[in-house]
Structure 1
Amino acid sequence: MGSGSRVTALLAAVAAMLAALVVIEIRAIDQIESTSTSGMPVTVGEATHRAGVGAAAAATQRALSYGFEDFDAQVDAATEEMTAGFADEYRRTTLEARDRFVAERTTQEVRVVGSGVVTASAGRVTALLFLDQYVAKAGSDPTVTPYRALATVVRDDGRWLLQDIETR
């Protein structure tokens, strides 16, 4: 066997070992993602927790964005993506702000500028959201305030529904 043949055989053996390691790693990842362990904060695959985080971000952005012109319609639309209990709490909270928003001609827009998973299971995801809040009032310069929130969504009939928002 010539030196060129030995190098080829050696490279083939190394390639086979690397392929075997990749297969073992993929199986290990699948095993971790399919195992529900109460001590692990994320017990589902990436697609599931990303879908939950995306739903939490979108619903939170809608829930925290409203203005004086169509305040009630925006609140109604936001509650369609919430659990019944959280929708009731949200309506009580926004009702307290409604008169002030209308009197001061205030518009508030919240944008999610970053997000990540905190905990995730097949039926519940808590996301850390980084938010920018833009507030405009008649006669005042607009302001931008960065803050963060923990948003929790739960699966209900194949949909993610907002169950809680904790601002920080």
Structure 2
Amino acid sequence: MSTGEEVKAVHLPAPRSSPENDEPEPEPRRGARTPRWLVPAVVAAVLALALGGAGLLFRVGELTNSPAAGNRALTDTEATTRVIGDVSSALGKVFSYAPTNTGATRQSARELLAGKAARQYGELFGQVEKRAAEQKLTLTTHVVRAGVTRLTDRGAHLLVFLDQVAERRGKPPVTTAAQLSVTAELSDGRWQIVDITSR
């Protein structure tokens, strides 16, 4: 070849592959791949949220079905005030007497006490009547404070603080403080005391 001749480049077409060997071209990447360590962390977070939600629902169910949910002393002011008034009045009547008028006290006890409280009172009041007559003893009971610890449609539990003033003829009065746990039941529209425990 002489140096004077021009060299022409020949461009050959690229070989075509057969249809059987055709492979789809990979799609272009649209973003960065999620790191492998992140997948377990996301799954753990979702599980924690699900378990936390289930636990919260369980606690709500427990509170709804707990005894506290049925305690009207926490929600019903009118009913609470009524039972406190009825029980306080009853205690004042059955624990107050004069040496010449114990019959009125006994009659009040028949109307205002029931169950265990009525039985205990009946057993003890005979001794009280005898002592009141012998010692010319007058006892006056005042409820100082009372609170309802539990209240349902049919029953109530109360904590009662009271003062009792005992007077004997010719002697100065003596005041004694007492604390009682009282159980009452609603019967025929009125509260009756069914149990009294000294605290």
For normalisation by structure 2, the TM-score amounts to: 0.61
Cα pair 1:86 1:164 within 8 Å, conserved: yes
Distance 1:110 1:42, change over 3 A: farther
Give the aligned residue type for 1:130. Answer: F
- In 2: Cα distance, 1:148 partner to 1:86 partner: 16
Match status 1:121 vs 2:152: yes
Contact persistence 1:63–1:79 (CA under 8 A): no
Quick one: distance in 1 between partners of 2:80 and 2:139? Answer: 28
Give the number of the structure with larger relative contact order, counting CA–CA contacts within 8 Å between residues 6 or more apart.
1
Alignment correspondent of 2:179: 148
> After the TM superposition, which parts of structure 1 deviate over 3 Å for at least 4 consecutive aligned residues?
35-38
Match of residue 134 from structure 1 = 165
Aligned-residue CA RMSD (Å): 2.1
Offset at residue 78 of structure 1 (A): 2.7
Gaps of 5+ in 2: 1-62
Q: Distance in 1 between matches of 2:169 and 2:159?
A: 32
Unaligned ranges ≥5, structure 1: 1-34
Displacement of 1:141: 1.2
State whether structure 2 residue 127 is matched by structure 1 residue 93: no
> Match of 2:128, SS?
helix
- Answer yes or no: is the 8 Å Cα contact 2:116–2:195 preserved in 1: no
Query: Aligned ranges for residues 100-111 of structure 1 at < 5 Å?
Result: 100-111=131-142
Matched with 2:92 is 61
Return the alpha-carbon distance in structure 1 between the equivalents of residues 69 and 142 of structure 2. 26
Query: Do residues 82 (structure 1) and 108 (structure 2) align?
Result: no
How many residues of Structure 1 are paired with residues of Structure 2 in the alignment? Answer: 134
Q: Which residue of 2 aligns with 1:43?
A: 71
- Residue deviations 1:90-133 (CA, integer Å, cap 9, x gap): 12111122111100000000101111111111111111111111
Distance 1:52 1:39 in 2: 19
User: Which structure's residues are more often strand, by fraction?
Assistant: 1
C-alpha change, 1:143 and 1:121, in structure 2 (3 Å) is same
> Could you tell me which residue of structure 2 aligns to residue 12 of structure 1?
none
Mapped to 1, the partners of 2:148 and 2:64 lie a distance apart of: 16
